[in-house]
Amino acid sequence: MRILVLDCKEYAIRFSLADMETKTFPVCGKVESIGMAGATIHVRTQGKSERQEQASLLTHKAAIEKVIDVLIQERAISSKADLDAVAHRVVHGGESFQTSTRINEKVIEQIRRLRPLAPLHNPAELEGILATRQILPDTPQVANFDTAFYATMPDHAFIYGLPFELYKRLGVRRYGFHGLSHRYLMHRTAKLLEKNITEIKIVSCHLGSGCSITAIDRGTVKDTSMGFTPTEGLAMDSRCGDIDPGLIPFLKAKERLTTAELLNLFNKFSGLRGLSGTSGEMAVILDKAEKGDERCQIALGVFSYRVKKYIAAYMGVLGGADALVFSAGIGVNAPIVRQRCVAGLEFLGVQLDPEKNQAAIGKEALISSDDSPVKVFAMPDNEELTMAFRTRDVIQKREEGIEEDEF
Amino acid sequence: MDFSKVGVVGGGTMGRCIAICLARAGIKVVLCEKSEKQYQDSMSALEETLKDLIRHFSITEEEKKIYLSIIEGTPELSALDDTDFIIECVDENLELKKRVFRQLDEALSPDKIIATNTATLSITELAAATKRPQQVIGLHFISSDPNSVLVEIVRGTQTSDATTEAARDLARAMRKQAIDVFEYPGYVSSRLIIPYINEALYILMEGVSSAEDIDKAMTLGNNFPIGPLEMADRIGLDQVLGMMDALFEELGELKYRPCPLLRKLVRAGHLGKKTGKGVFEYANGEHK
């Protein structure tokens, strides 16, 4: 079975072709600068070096047609009829969608209605879905939601301390994001520990350009750091994470900002970027911090402290954990950051092995000491695999439990 | 109608603002200026505006690079034939605009639509200078702030439905909200706001209240984001006077008589924010 996995953003599309027999991705890549003067297509085919192509792609439809052309060019498929299904990433499923769902008119309408909850993501994802339905009208398509993983989160964790009517009337609550990633990390951790997901407690840290931490209790979610939007929680690449709500009227007045500008401030000018004044990239910040750049040191300090705070809090919520997982760009590539995030948590049973930690860059590895009660992993994320599996299962109408062996 | 490239004639304040709005919507821009030097000057000023937007958290550094990459310049009006729509933004001078329209009419293929950003001049008269009056329309971008949302679509007597529809499509593509206006002095926005500002100046001149208090009456008393006198300074007192004079001339009613204080300030060269002094005083663009 071959599944086209699509993650459609405003000006870019990440794509991969999943081969469900081998559970690998023969081709993957990214189309950037859609709708602008000249798009770039990056293609990575297994066994070949990465290549780039330029094209004029003004719409998502043109971009997706190009992606299919590329797959044919790379001989991963011989025609679009070879695609058995399409897996779409949809960031926000609200409370309407608690699991991956086969796309039909009603689903599309419901996704459209969720636009106010995710104005930065929803329109582009919808455009991708509609375009794909035009290009591949007979191919089953499945929407995979970042929020669906959190369907089991208890209400005392997702309800804010705001008037309850706001939740009932407007859907104001914590939704949680990166669900596709944390779901993969949960299954993979269980596999490595040779346990069932219903037997273990995990604190899962997805630290990429967006960052979130999730407390997973034996297959269900107890809490997560992102909230109503992906802005809440940790300090990220360019997002501020947790702040005092009192700052909103203060900043609006003092800096004379419109709401849109304030949102920009929180989402694009904050986090590591805003703290360091240099860059949102951890690699750059680590380098400069080491060379004595004070602001980069502050950025690093704020980032790791907040991660540590959440790890400790979630271990409290879970009553202890079997595993702590670091994933995505920073989680997998920055041993120093991992070390700072767990320094002092030995009393909770988290003991890093310094050598194993230093050596674990860009790969899956166990980085805790042999006698550490909590197993600590560095683990590359794989949302695409989750999407492919969930899509396959929805189409073949399998029960959720069966996924476990596959990871 | 789809828009991949739009032509802008004139790189002054409004031309630059419109170019930024187009680029922001992912539409390529061909900016026509009289000479290479004028174009370079325009682009420097445009880049300054983008830097201002960054300072105000409106756009990011990356976005600024993208916008600059899709705006190109030309001294030839004929180069605009390669665009989907043309917006004229030269100085608010009837003879000048008529000349530009005649030149555009000759340089462009007959199916092209030419819009004008004029705030006060007659669309019908500009259209009559061409052989395509059904394809001439007013597209009035009220403010020079790229973040402002409203566009007035102004139909001349011969503007066709198809042209109006295309203008609406462009406004939508530029993520603006459009209102339909039939050509008339002041359209809607100017006719409402300029006499209101003028009246505030009368109140000041007659000694009824101080400038600060007059503004407070509207910001605090009526929830206006800024007061009429600060607004006058921002628009430019010369612009306010020009529009008031135009209304008075066209419509002839006493209620449009420009306030003597306004004329006095303009004659003294106190034009508002851009000269550092108008009704109020300004340092570094901020109210002192």
Kindly name the residue from A7, A69, A138, A146 that is annotated as catalytic.
A146
Cα–Cα dist A382/A212, whole Å: 15
**Partner A contacted by B4 (CB < 8 A):** yes
**Is there a common fold for A2-145 and A179-383?**
yes
A58 vs B: CB within 8 A? yes
Instruction: Split chain A (407 residues) into runs of 10 and give each run's mean pLDDT.
Output: 94 95 94 82 92 89 95 93 96 93 94 88 94 95 96 97 96 96 96 96 96 98 96 96 96 89 94 94 95 97 98 98 97 97 97 97 97 98 93 81 50
Closest of A120, A73, A129 to residue A102, by C-alpha: A129
For chain B, what are the domain ranges? Answer: 5-182, 193-280
- Which of 3.30.420.40, 3.40.50.1820, 1.10.1740.10, 3.30.1360.120 would CATH assign to domain A179-383? 3.30.420.40
| pLDDT for the residue numbered A407 | 54
pLDDT value at residue A405: 45
B5-182 and B193-280 in the same fold: no
Contacts of B226 (CB under 8 A, 6+ apart): B215, B219, B234
- Across the A/B interface, how many CB contacts are shorter than 8 Å? 31
CB contact under 8 A, B4 and A58: yes
Q: Which of B58, B59, B70 sits opposite A37 (nearest CB)?
A: B70
Mean pLDDT score, B214-241: 94
The H or E element that residue A233 is part of is none
**Would you state the pLDDT for residue A209?**
87
pLDDT of residue A236: 97
Nearest CA in chain A to B72: A37
Contact (CB<8Å) A258/B4? no
- The answer to whether the Cα torsion of A97, A98, A100, A104 is positive or negative is negative
Percent of chain B with pLDDT over 90: 80
**pLDDT given for residue A293 in this prediction:** 96
Which of A32, A262, A263, A268 should be substituted to probe chain B, the one whose Cβ sees the most B Cβ atoms within 10 Å? A268
Residues B99-126: what's their mean pLDDT?
94
Do B60 and A35 lie within an 8 Å CB cutoff? no
Indicate yes or no: CB of B57 within 8 angstroms of CB of A58.
no
A contact test, residue of B1, B29, B57 with most A CBs within 10 A: B57
Query: Is some CB atom of chain B closer than 8 A to the CB atom of A35?
Result: yes
Facing B26 at nearest CB: one of A35, A258, A269: A35
**CB contact, 8 Å: B28 with chain A?**
yes
**Chain B residues within 8 A of A36 when measuring between CB atoms:** 26, 66, 69-70
Check: CATH 3.30.420.40 for A2-145? yes
Active-site residue A146, yes or no? yes
Closest B-chain CA to A278: B61
Q: Tally helices (H) and strands (E) across chain B.
A: 11, 10
Using CB atoms, which residue from B69, B70, B147 is nearest to A258? B147
**How many other C-beta atoms lie within 10 A of the C-beta of residue B134?**
15
**What is the model's pLDDT at position B271?**
95
pLDDT score of B140? 95
B102 burial (CB, 10 Å; 0-12 / 13-18 / 19+) is middle
Question: What was the pLDDT predicted at A59?
Answer: 87
The chain B residue lying nearest A269, using CA atoms, is B57
Contact assessment for residue A205 and residue A213, using Cβ atoms and an 8 Å cutoff: yes
Q: What is the pLDDT of residue A404?
A: 47
The rounded distance, in Å, linking the Cα atoms of B4 and A398 is 46
- Quick: pLDDT tens for A80-132: 999 999 999 999 999 999 999 999 999 999 999 999 888 888 999 999 999 99
Q: What is the topology classification, in CATH, of domain B5-182? A: Rossmann fold (3.40.50)
Q: What are phi and psi of A196, to 5 degrees?
A: -85, 150
Q: What per-residue confidence (pLDDT) applies to A24?
A: 92
B6 within 8 A of B19, measured Cβ to Cβ: no
In the block, residue with structure tokens 């004329």:
B263
What distance in Å separates residue A366's CA from the closest CA in chain B? Answer: 38
pLDDT at B30: 96
Domain ranges of chain A: 2-145, 179-383
Which of the listed CATH numbers 1.20.1090.10, 3.40.50.720, 1.10.1040.10, 3.40.50.620 matches domain B193-280? 1.10.1040.10
Q: Which residues of B touch A32 (CB under 8 A)?
A: none
Looking at residue A157, its pLDDT comes to: 98
